[in-house]
Amino acid sequence: MEKFHHEALEVAKAVARVIALALDLEVDFFDKPEMLGKPIATLRLLHYEGQISDPSKGIFGAGAHSDYGLITLLVTDDVMGLQICKDKDAKPQVWEYVAPIKGAFIVNLGDMLERWSNCLFKSTLHRVLGNGQERYSIAYFVEPSHECLVECLPTCKSEKNPPQFPPIRCDTYLSQRYKDTHADLSVYNKHQT
């Protein structure tokens, strides 16, 4: 796992360099110490039981969501299950399966990259549907260092496209997102006493 963690981080940095070029930034823009020089990188081993999902009844392997951070690298086994929605604002949403490719990473763009790029890049809305087979995957979440200031990138704003989000430190942003999406267990504890 340590070897995978190290090698996945190098892949994430290479992907970040491609993103930098796509945004007309210097290729090493995200390599700065306050960005991916000292990143927050979390590896999660995932196991989906062999249940069958039924979206019409709200039964999923993992419900629809986008990841908070910069990017997420995914490695999966050969069992189909991951779906993405290319236009998360569409009504109705259209979901497509992502075919697993042996030896390849799937790259999900995160909400932080959407914010940083002033919505030029959209975060990947995704979910997992169970098909009756067990499924395994590895999610590798990559964020910049806690001290990084996430603000509209200079190449992503103009007079006609001003910044849509105020600047925010990475640690503040992640704490806010966590608080917004997780239950406050202190409320539960108060009711128990």
Residue from 61, 60, 59 nearest 46 by CA: 61
Residue 130 CA to residue 1 CA, distance in Å, equals 26
| Position 130 in a domain | yes
Residue from 90, 147, 91 nearest 122 by CA: 90
Contact 114, 20 (CB under 8 A): no
| Position 126 in a domain | yes
| Domain of residue 4, residue span | 1-178
The per-residue pLDDT for 185 is 66
The per-residue pLDDT for 14 is 97
| Position 188 in a domain | no
Other beta carbons within 10 angstroms of residue 175's beta carbon come to 12
- The CATH number for 162's domain is 2.60.120.330
| Position 172 in a domain | yes
Residue 176 CA to residue 193 CA, distance in Å, equals 28
The per-residue pLDDT for 181 is 77
The per-residue pLDDT for 83 is 93
Element (H, E) at 12: helix 2-22
| Position 183 in a domain | no
Contact 36, 60 (CB under 8 A): no
| Position 48 in a domain | yes
Instruction: List, in sequence order, every residue forming a beta bridge with 126; answer none if it has no partner.
Output: 65, 84
Q: Each residue's pLDDT tens digit in the chain (193 positions)?
A: 999 999 999 999 999 999 999 999 999 999 998 899 889 999 999 999 888 888 888 888 888 899 999 999 999 999 999 999 999 888 999 999 999 998 899 999 999 999 999 999 999 999 999 999 999 999 999 999 999 999 999 999 999 999 999 999 999 999 898 888 776 767 666 656 5
| Position 62 in a domain | yes
The per-residue pLDDT for 16 is 96
On the question of a cis peptide bond just before residue 154, with omega within 30 degrees of 0, the verdict is no
99-105 contact pairs (CB < 8 A, 24+): 100/76, 102/78, 105/8, 105/11, 105/73, 105/74, 105/75
| Position 129 in a domain | yes
User: Does the predicted model carry a pTM greater than 0.85?
Assistant: yes
Q: How many domains does the chain have?
A: 1
